[in-house]
């Protein structure tokens, strides 16, 4: 804009005035991509004092269904020793069923934890799950909306677990839940860089026996004073190693981030992710706005999270967001994005679904005939119905052809 105007006009502080005008343009704020470092420095969790007092958990879903009808894995990780339990479950398990499994597999073996870090899965936000842990005396630490980095420990463990399961299925075949107990043992008995030893050695005082160490026979005494002192020294050593690992990871991460702070009452835009679906280059989907809002900040949660005043159209989304999803809005207070034009799911993705087939036709090519259907999309006017190939629509939206 400056280069275009300077050819015919000039006034004092011309470039600065143009810069201010562009910065306050709501359309530019909505659609322009950020080429700067993301907001918010890394905030590591505190190093736990004792074993299995502070844990993290998450689910691996959409796995192939086994003969035992398992299609998911519940991953529970101890933040101090890095030891983990991999529990095969069904995706349809309710919070009541998960609570029974939690008592059987975790509480019975390690006692009641002090805190649990997890994402906002519907089973973790369910009223029964919250009431259950409130009675147990456990504090639930849920992540901010659409920010899986809060539970980075479990996400990294899940990545390792999936790689191990792929290797087992390739080498041995069969159902993945048949290999899960040995995968759990192998993971817990392998060296972990953060603590400088295997999780089992930190948990029990030594590595567990495997076919590679048949020479370790006989019973080992763990009740002497020297062994207790050794365990205490090892615990202090592990906590020091964890703190050093956290500081190292924080220094790496902060090089690619920048700090920013907002005040209560500021107006910000909320970043959303376009859904790359079948239909592209339309008003919605790929070319949708990158940011919606503006929204008013109601409160600051911790150091890098804020609670927003969301309208009723977005009531399905949790109002607390990490600072990396926010952009300061400098536009006029009367400007805003109309939410009835946007479909957002609980993960801040745009959703576009067909609701009806209005007409059918055939497109004749040189060597074949392509069947076409005129599709009415959700929350679109009749004039915005589009022609699509019937074959692609049957693959992506089979429910459209059931009636």
| One CATH from 3.40.1440, 1.10.760, 2.40.50, 3.40.220 for 353-400 | 2.40.50
User: Which residue shows structure tokens 């609570």?
Assistant: 99
Residue 125 is encoded by which pair of tokens? Answer: 């936000």
Residue 373: alpha-carbon gap to chain centroid: 37
Average pLDDT over residues 258-262: 83
DSSP β-ladder status, 267-271 and 139-142: unpaired
CB neighbour list of residue 12: distance below 8 Å, 6 or more residues apart: none
Closest CA to 347 of 379, 329, 325, 327: 325
**Rounded to whole angstroms, how far apart are CA atoms 256 and 155?**
20
Residue 148 has pLDDT above 70, yes or no: no
pLDDT score for 202: 81
Q: Give the global pTM.
A: 0.59
The H-or-E segment that residue 377 falls in is strand 369-377
Q: CATH fold of 54-209+229-250, please?
A: Nucleotidyltransferase; domain 5 (3.30.420)
**Rounded to whole angstroms, how far apart are CA atoms 32 and 261?**
21
The H-or-E segment that residue 310 falls in is none
Residue 102 burial (C-beta neighbours within 10 Å; 0-12, 13-18, 19+): buried
Average pLDDT over residues 169-180: 82
Segment 206-218, tens digit of pLDDT:
777 776 554 444 4
Closest CA to 95 of 128, 138, 143: 128
In this structure, are residues 57 and 116 in contact, taking their beta carbons and an 8 Å threshold?
yes
**Rounded to whole angstroms, how far apart are CA atoms 232 and 202?**
10
**Rounded to whole angstroms, how far apart are CA atoms 205 and 15?**
68
Residue 84: alpha-carbon gap to chain centroid: 19
Query: How distant, in Å, are the alpha carbons of 56, 63, 136, 315, 390 from that of 91?
Result: 19, 10, 25, 25, 32
**Rounded to whole angstroms, how far apart are CA atoms 222 and 220?**
6
pLDDT score for 88: 92
DSSP letters spanning 216-263: --S-----SHHHHHHHHHHHHHHHHHHHHHHHHHHHHHHTT-B-----
CATH 2.30.30 fits 1-37+260-334, yes or no: yes
Domain limits, CATH 2.30.30, in the chain: 1-37+260-334
Segment 310-343, tens digit of pLDDT:
887 777 777 888 888 888 887 766 555 555 555 5
Residue 365 has pLDDT above 60, yes or no: yes
Segment 59-99, tens digit of pLDDT:
888 888 888 889 999 999 998 888 899 999 998 888 888 99
Phi, psi (deg, nearest 5) at residue 329? -100, 120
The H-or-E segment that residue 270 falls in is strand 267-271
Residue 149: count of CB within 10 angstroms of its CB? 14
pLDDT score for 272: 74
Domain limits, CATH 3.30.420.10, in the chain: 54-209+229-250
Closest CA to 180 of 264, 271, 68, 263: 68
């Amino acid at each position: 804009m400056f280069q275009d105007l300077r050819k015919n006009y000039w006034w004092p502080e011309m470039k600065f005035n143009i810069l201010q005008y562009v910065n306050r343009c709501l359309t530019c704020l909505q659609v322009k991509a950020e080429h700067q470092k993301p907001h918010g420095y890394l905030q590591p969790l505190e190093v736990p004092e004792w074993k299995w007092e502070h844990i993290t958990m998450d689910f691996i879903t959409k796995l192939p269904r086994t003969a035992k009808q398992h299609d998911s894995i519940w991953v529970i990780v101890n933040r101090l020793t890095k030891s983990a339990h991999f529990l095969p479950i069904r995706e349809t398990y309710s919070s009541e069923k998960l609570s029974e499994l939690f008592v059987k597999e975790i509480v019975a073996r390690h006692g009641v934890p002090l805190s649990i870090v997890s994402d906002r899965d519907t089973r973790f936000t369910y009223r029964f799950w919250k009431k259950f842990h409130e009675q147990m005396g456990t504090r639930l630490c849920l992540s901010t909306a659409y920010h899986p980095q809060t539970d980075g420990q479990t996400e990294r463990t899940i990545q390792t677990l999936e790689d191990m399961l792929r290797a087992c299925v390739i080498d041995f075949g069969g159902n993945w839940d048949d290999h899960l107990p040995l995968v759990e043992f192998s993971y817990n008995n392998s060296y972990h860089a953060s603590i400088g030893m295997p999780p089992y050695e930190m948990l029990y005082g030594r590595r567990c026996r495997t076919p590679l160490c048949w020479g370790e026979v006989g019973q080992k005494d763990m009740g002497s004073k020297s062994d207790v002192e050794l365990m205490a020294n090892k615990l202090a050593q592990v906590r020091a190693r964890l703190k050093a690992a956290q500081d190292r990871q924080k220094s790496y991460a902060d090089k690619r981030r920048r700090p920013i702070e907002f005040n209560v009452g500021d107006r910000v835009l909320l970043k959303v992710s376009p859904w790359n679906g079948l239909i592209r280059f339309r008003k919605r989907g790929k070319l949708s706005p990158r940011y919606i809002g503006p929204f008013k900040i109601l409160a600051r949660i911790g150091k890098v999270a804020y609670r927003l005043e969301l309208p009723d159209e977005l009531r399905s989304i949790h109002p607390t967001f990490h600072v990396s999803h926010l952009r300061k809005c400098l536009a006029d207070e009367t400007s805003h994005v109309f939410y009835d034009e946007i479909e957002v799911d609980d993960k801040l993705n745009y959703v576009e679904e067909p609701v009806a087939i209005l007409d059918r036709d055939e497109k004749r090519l040189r060597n074949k005939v392509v069947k076409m259907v005129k599709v009415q999309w959700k929350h679109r006017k009749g004039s915005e119905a589009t022609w699509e190939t019937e074959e692609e629509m049957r693959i992506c939206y089979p429910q459209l052809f059931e009636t």
